[in-house]
Amino acid sequence: MIKKTILSGIQPSGNLCIGNYLGAIKQWEQMQDDYESIFLVVDMHSITTKQLPADLRSRCLSFVAQYIACGIDPNKSNIIIQSHIPQHAELMWVLSCFTYQGELSRMTQYKSKSKNLKNINAGLFTYPILMAADILLYQADLVPVGSDQKQHLELCRDIALRFNNKFSETFKIPEPFIPKNGARIMSLQNPTDKMSKSDVNLNSIISLLDEPNIVRKKINRSVTDSGSKVVYNQKDKPGLSNLINIYKSLSNESADYIENRYKGKMYSDFKSDLSDLIIDTLSPIKLEYDYLIKNKDYLLKILKDGTDYGYKKSQNTISKVYRKIGFVPRVR
Ligand code: TRP
């Protein structure tokens, strides 16, 4: 049986955090046996906001090492840096001629990101078209994303359907895959906001590469709510509930079970155990990462394999697209 294709990606801005791990990479790891898998480091997306070139360069390689350290197996999955495949940009241009300004201005992520910026670059506005190109280029069936990306995926489907209707079947129409047990981890300081790796307040996030003492400090300082009982109540106790969600995802236990265990105990008992749990999860990842990041040749080999695979797949799609819209085939 032909395996279905899954595709997802993360922007190399900031350090990968447990929000990325529990909400995305851990799910990818569990899916890679059953699907043809493509995991992108979307560096082209990340330059929609300010990046320091040297940092961006080292962060991309670091992300590849972290994907692998988290269990993405290069023998099963394809890891690709977006800018290594020129077809992403090529397809994006074509798709941008089939996307309406009105559609882009309705994107909530654009609206909220552009609110705080003085100079809004065009890339921030057309960002969802590049994301659509990422997905459609590889004819992905399923796209595991957090709920904040659902609107972008809807737009991707609309663009693909529009193109297919105009020029005959060209793109597979992708489905969003919002993992059932994929936790949405919130900021440790503002538990109503998503934990974001680009948060300037480092106390809000636990990075995958944080040392144990840092993990403990951040959990101890995390915002909890008034009261002292460890009870799960998303509405009245968003801070504590977020910590319970992290605990749940790491231990695979239910909230009820966790509440029971901490009956009669204090927040500090719970926080101390949670820190242990996080440290136990991150330690082997960090160990593997430290080994991988020193083996640059190995990482480059993985990227070469990913690029070879991705180039073939995406060239297939782009030549179909160019033919259908009436471009003269290139003479080789
Ligand atoms: N926009 C996504 C995010 O910020 C990242 C992304 C880029 C992506 N291209 C993608 C996710 C393709 C899934 C598929 O989370």
Atom 6 of ligand 1 has which residue's CA nearest to it?
9
Residue 32 domain flag = yes
Q: What is the mean pLDDT of the segment spanning 111-115?
A: 88
Residue 317: the pLDDT is 98
Whether 3 is a known active-site residue: answer no
Atom 9 of ligand 1 has which residue's CA nearest to it?
131
For residue range 69-94, list pLDDT tens digits in order.
999 999 999 999 999 999 999 999 99
Ligand 1 proximity of 25 Cβ (cutoff 6 Å) = no
Q: How many CA atoms lie within 13 A of 139 on its CB side?
A: 17
Ligand 1 proximity of 286 Cβ (cutoff 6 Å) = no
Could you tell me if 257 and 176 lie in one domain? Answer: no
The neighbouring-strand residues paired with 79 are 39
Note down the domain range covering 219: 202-291
We report the CATH number of the domain holding residue 275 as 1.10.240.10
Percent of the chain with pLDDT strictly greater than 70: 99
Residue 283 near residue 52 (C-beta atoms within 8 A)? no
Residue 252 domain flag = yes
Ligand 1 proximity of 12 Cβ (cutoff 6 Å) = no
Could you tell me if 42 and 86 lie in one domain? Answer: yes
Ligand 1 proximity of 11 Cβ (cutoff 6 Å) = yes
Whether 113 is a known active-site residue: answer yes
Could you tell me if 11 and 106 lie in one domain? Answer: yes
Alpha-carbon gap, residue 27 to 20, rounded angstroms: 10
Q: What is the mean pLDDT of the segment spanning 174-192?
A: 86
Q: Kindly name the residue from 197, 237, 271, 286 that is annotated as catalytic.
A: 197
CA of 330 to the centre of ligand 1 (A): 31
CA of 9 to the centre of ligand 1 (A): 5
Residue 113: the pLDDT is 86
Residue 54's pLDDT band (cuts 50, 70, 90):
very high
Residue 278 domain flag = yes
Residue 154 confidence (pLDDT) above 90: yes
Residue 304 domain flag = yes
Alpha-carbon gap, residue 182 to 145, rounded angstroms: 10
For residue range 208-236, list pLDDT tens digits in order.
999 999 999 999 999 988 888 899 998 89
The neighbouring-strand residues paired with 77 are 37
Ligand 1 proximity of 8 Cβ (cutoff 6 Å) = yes
Residue 148 confidence (pLDDT) above 90: no
Residue 116: the pLDDT is 80
Q: What is the mean pLDDT of the segment spanning 109-132?
A: 92
For residue range 245-294, list pLDDT tens digits in order.
999 999 999 999 999 999 999 999 999 999 999 999 999 999 999 999 99
Residue 305 near residue 76 (C-beta atoms within 8 A)? no
From the alpha carbon of 130, which atom of ligand 1 is closest?
Answer: 9
Residue 282: the pLDDT is 97
The b/e string for 246-267 (b: 16+ C-beta within 10 A; e otherwise) is bbbbbbeeebeebeeebeeeeb
Residue 184's pLDDT band (cuts 50, 70, 90):
confident
Return the SS3 of 47: coil
Residue 196 domain flag = no
Domain count, the chain: 2
Q: How many CA atoms lie within 13 A of 265 on its CB side?
A: 14
Residue 303 confidence (pLDDT) above 90: yes
Residue 181's pLDDT band (cuts 50, 70, 90):
low
Could you tell me if 93 and 238 lie in one domain? Answer: no
Alpha-carbon gap, residue 86 to 84, rounded angstroms: 6
Residue 238: the pLDDT is 93
Residue 25 confidence (pLDDT) above 80: yes
Indicate the residue type of 234: Q
Could you tell me if 21 and 153 lie in one domain? Answer: yes
Atom 14 of ligand 1 has which residue's CA nearest to it?
8
Q: Can you give the pTM of this predicted structure?
A: 0.95
We report the CATH number of the domain holding residue 101 as 3.40.50.620
Closest CA to 315 of 167, 78, 127, 139: 139
Residue 318: the pLDDT is 98
User: DSSP assignment, residue 9?
Assistant: E
Could you tell me if 55 and 179 lie in one domain? Answer: yes
Could you tell me if 64 and 179 lie in one domain? Answer: yes
Ligand 1 proximity of 145 Cβ (cutoff 6 Å) = yes
CA of 246 to the centre of ligand 1 (A): 23
Alpha-carbon gap, residue 283 to 129, rounded angstroms: 38
Could you tell me if 175 and 262 lie in one domain? Answer: no
Ligand 1 proximity of 135 Cβ (cutoff 6 Å) = yes
Q: How far apart are the first and last CA of the chain?
A: 35
Mean pLDDT of all residues belonging to the chain: 95
Could you tell me if 64 and 25 lie in one domain? Answer: yes
Q: Kindly name the residue from 76, 113, 172, 217 that is annotated as catalytic.
A: 113
Could you tell me if 68 and 172 lie in one domain? Answer: yes
Q: Hey, which of 27, 81, 152 would you mutate to test ligand 1's pocket, going by the most ligand atoms within 8 Å of its Cβ?
A: 152
CA of 250 to the centre of ligand 1 (A): 24
Ligand 1 proximity of 13 Cβ (cutoff 6 Å) = no
Residue 179 confidence (pLDDT) above 80: no
Whether 265 is a known active-site residue: answer no
Q: Cα–chain-centroid distance for residue 322? A: 30
Could you tell me if 174 and 224 lie in one domain? Answer: no
Residue 192 domain flag = no
Closest CA to 21 of 49, 63, 58, 55: 63
Ligand 1 proximity of 46 Cβ (cutoff 6 Å) = no
Residue 182's pLDDT band (cuts 50, 70, 90):
low
**Tokens 């959990």 identify what position?**
219
Tokens of 24: 């995305």
Could you tell me if 11 and 151 lie in one domain? Answer: yes
